[in-house]
Amino acid sequence: MTTAPQTMPGRRRYLVIGVILPILIALVGAIVALTWLPDLPDPVAIHWDSNGADGFGSVWIMILMPLAIVTVVTVASGLSLRGAPQRGGLTSTEKIIVVTRMFLSVLLTIGVIGSLAVQRGLSDAAAAPNIATPMIVGAIGGVLLAAVAWFILPRAVPADFDQETAVEPLDLAPTENVYWSRTVRISGGIVVVLALVVALTVGNAIATARGSSSGLPFALGLAVFVLLLSGGMSFWRVRADRRGFAVRGILGWPQVSIPANEVADVRVVRVNPTADFGGWGWRVAPGRRTGIILRAGEAIEVTRRNGKRLVVTVDDAETAARVMQTLVARSAA
C-alpha cells in the first residue's frame, strides 16, 4: 500500500506569495524599462556616489539584473524548502526566506526602475540626478509587502531537529588522553551558489571599471570581500580535546572555543539547514542557537551552562559528542 504524498498547508498561498509574485514584479519592471528604451541615453548611469552618477554601462544590465537575481534567489531558496510538507508547513526561518524574496523583488525593481526614470529624456547620463528617493521608496515598499506576506502565509510550525540522540562518555582510564578533530567543508550545491554570487560581484566590478574609474575601488573591494568571506566560510576545523570544543574557519576567523567546564550537555542531532537555521554558513536561530551549518545531516550540539547552544554539522558527530562527554565528566570530577 502506497502512502499519498503530503501537501504543505497553504501551498497555494506559498506559491503565489513566494514564487509567482516576486518573479512577476521583477518581470513587469523589466517590461516597463523596455518601453523606455527610446527615451534613455546610451550608455546609462549604473552607479552613483554622493556627487551623482559616476559609472556607466549598457541599459540591459539595469533591465535584466533584477529579474535575473530574483529568479535565481527564488529558485535556489525554493529547492531548499522541499522538506516543508513533511514537517507540516514552513518554520519561522523558512517564512523569513519566503518573504525576503518579496522584499528583494520590490527593492530591486523600484530601485532600478527609479534610476532609469530619472534618466529619461537625457542626452548624457552624467546629468542623471541622485537616486536616493527611489531606493528609499523601494526599501519601504519591500518591507511593507514582506510584512503583509508574512501574515498571509500560514502560521509557522515549530523548528525541531529531525532527530536528537544522547550519547555516553568513552570508556577510558583516568590517565588516558583523548583528542578528536575533523576538517569540514560546505556541500557541493552551496559551492555552486557561492560561485554564482562571486561571479555576479566580479562582473559588477568589471562593469563599473568599464564605466568609470571612480567607483572601481569600492567595486573591487566588495569583490575581494566576497571572495574572502566565501572562502573563509567554506572550510572549518573542528576540534575536541582537553581544552574543550573549538571550531575555527580556515582563515583563522571566525572561531568559537568552549572550555569543557562550561559545557552542560552534548548530543547528536540531525539538521535541516533551512528549517532549523534559515540557510547555510554562520547562522543564528531561535532557542539561543548558533550554527555552523555546511550541509544537511548529522551535527554535534554543545550546550553551555548559560543555555547558549552551538551546532556544527560534521561527519562522525557521535564520536565527537562522546569525546566531549568524556571531557565534561572529567572536568566535573
Work out the angle at residue 311's Cα, subtended by the Cα atoms of residues 162 and 187, and round it to the nearest 5 degrees: 80
Indicate yes or no: pTM above 0.85.
Answer: no
Least confident of 103-107, 145-149, 226-230: 226-230
State the greatest distance between any 2 C-alpha atoms of the chain, in Å, as a whole number: 83
83 and 141 fall within a common domain: yes
Strands, E assignment, 167-262: 180-185, 235-241, 244-249, 255-258
Q: What is the DSSP letter of 67?
A: H
Q: Given this model, what pLDDT does residue 3 score? A: 47
150 and 167 fall within a common domain: no
Arithmetic mean of pLDDT, 95-108 = 91
pLDDT tier for residue 201 given thresholds of 50, 70 and 90? low
80 and 33 fall within a common domain: yes
Please identify, among 124, 158, 192, the residue that sits at the C-terminal boundary of a domain.
158
pLDDT tier for residue 312 given thresholds of 50, 70 and 90? very high
Q: Given this model, what pLDDT does residue 259 score? A: 92
Q: What are phi and psi of 52, to 5 degrees?
A: 125, -160
Question: For the residues of 294-330, what is the DSSP string, one character each?
Answer: -SSEEEEEEEETTS-EEEEE-TTHHHHHHHHHHHHHH
117 and 34 fall within a common domain: yes
147 and 250 fall within a common domain: no
Is the pLDDT score of 222 beyond 90? no
263 and 135 fall within a common domain: no
- 307, 303, 296, 295: which is closest to 321 by C-alpha? 303
85 and 168 fall within a common domain: no
Q: What percentage of the chain has pLDDT greater than the value 70?
A: 78
56 and 171 fall within a common domain: no
The Cα 254–Cα 233 span in angstroms is 8
Give the 3-state secondary structure of residue 101.
Answer: helix
For residue 95 the three cell numbers come to 517564512
Least confident of 201-210, 241-250, 254-263: 201-210
Q: Given this model, what pLDDT does residue 2 score? A: 46
pLDDT tier for residue 69 given thresholds of 50, 70 and 90? confident
Q: What is the CATH number of the domain that holds 297?
A: 2.30.29.30
- H helix or E strand, kind and range, residue 13: helix 11-14
The Cα 318–Cα 124 span in angstroms is 65
149 and 61 fall within a common domain: yes
Residue 228 belongs to a domain: no
Arithmetic mean of pLDDT, 75-98 = 70
288 and 308 fall within a common domain: yes
**In the beta sheet, which residues pair with residue 237?**
183, 248
- 95, 99, 84, 78: which is closest to 155 by C-alpha? 95
pLDDT tier for residue 305 given thresholds of 50, 70 and 90? very high
- 241, 240, 253: which is closest to 292 by C-alpha? 253
Is the pLDDT score of 163 beyond 70? no
Report pLDDT digits (tens) over 262-297.
999 999 998 888 778 877 888 888 778 899 988 888
Arithmetic mean of pLDDT, 49-71 = 84
82 and 139 fall within a common domain: yes
pLDDT tier for residue 328 given thresholds of 50, 70 and 90? confident
Domain count, the chain: 2
Arithmetic mean of pLDDT, 245-252 = 86
Least confident of 8-17, 77-86, 124-133: 77-86
Q: Which domain holds residue 281?
A: 163-184+235-332
The Cα 235–Cα 268 span in angstroms is 21
101 and 175 fall within a common domain: no
Residues 6+ apart with CB under 8 A from 206: none
